[in-house]
């Protein structure tokens, strides 16, 4: 009957995501996005929507990918303790390897405080992440690999907030050794 969409939406979303990742929401212009996505302006507005809608899709895609990766990673480990160590040290490696900021943290500090829609999504995603971490922590406690005098949820939150702190440190100092040390310190701390 009629012509149909000629581009793969997920693929385009990912290209847009990289631009937001690098520049942040406000500093990214529609021109930047159109250029990077290699898509027509009209097509963009017709199929995905405006800048804000596109951004929402980007952060959802960002989280979904990260969460899937995390789950796969954990599934490959034999114990809860090993899984936690893997997750923590991989996060440290990731922070060190990535010279851009972090789309998630950038969004939380730049956009979330003033944008209710964004804040709700980020908050929900964060809850899912923390809850997932908490189940592993709980398992480690149940298996006697970890001191269980502390609340598992608080422990998970403690781990997650540490990641944010590391990212801040790396943005400012760009010192990989410091990040490594802090991750080792965290691991030592939670298993002591």
Residues that bind DNA (CB under 7 A): 1-7, 28-32, 39-43, 45-47, 50-52
Which chain residues interact with its own copies by CB under 8 A?
Answer: 22-24, 26-27, 100-102, 105-106, 108-110, 112-114, 119, 122-123, 126, 150, 154, 157-158, 160-169, 171-173, 178, 181-182, 185, 189
Q: 101: left (phi > 0), else alpha (psi -120 to 50), else beta?
A: beta
Whether the CB-CB separation of 187 and 89 falls below 8 Å is answered with yes
Whether the CB-CB separation of 89 and 183 falls below 8 Å is answered with yes
CA distance 116 to 122: 10
Partner touching 93 among its own copies, DNA, none, CB below 5 to 8 Å by kind: none
Query: Is the CB of 79 or the CB of 123 nearer to its own copies?
Result: 123
Partner touching 2 among DNA, its own copies, none, CB below 5 to 8 Å by kind: DNA
Partner touching 41 among its own copies, DNA, none, CB below 5 to 8 Å by kind: DNA
Beta strands in 17-147 (DSSP E): none
CB of 161 to its own copies, least distance (A): 2
Partner touching 31 among DNA, its own copies, none, CB below 5 to 8 Å by kind: DNA
Q: 66: how many CB neighbours lie within 10 A of its CB?
A: 15
CA distance 87 to 82: 9
């Amino acid at each position: 009957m009629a012509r149909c969409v000629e581009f793969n939406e997920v693929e385009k979303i990912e290209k847009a995501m990289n631009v937001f990742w690098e520049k942040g929401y406000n500093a990214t212009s529609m021109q930047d996005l159109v250029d990077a996505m290699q898509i027509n302006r009209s097509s963009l507005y017709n199929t995905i929507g405006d800048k804000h809608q596109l951004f929402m899709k980007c952060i959802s895609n960002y989280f979904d990918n990260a969460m899937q990766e995390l789950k796969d990673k954990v599934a490959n480990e034999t114990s809860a303790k090993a899984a936690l160590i893997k997750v923590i040290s991989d996060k440290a490696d990731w922070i060190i390897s990535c010279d851009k900021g972090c789309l998630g943290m950038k969004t939380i500090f730049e956009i979330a405080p003033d944008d209710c829609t964004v804040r709700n999504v980020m908050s929900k995603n964060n809850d899912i992440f923390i809850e997932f971490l908490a189940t592993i922590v709980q398992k480690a406690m149940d298996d006697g690999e970890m001191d269980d005098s502390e609340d598992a949820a608080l422990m998970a939150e403690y781990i997650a907030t540490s990641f944010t702190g590391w990212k801040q440190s790396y943005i400012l100092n760009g010192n990989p050794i410091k990040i490594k040390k802090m991750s080792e310190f965290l691991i030592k701390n939670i298993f002591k």
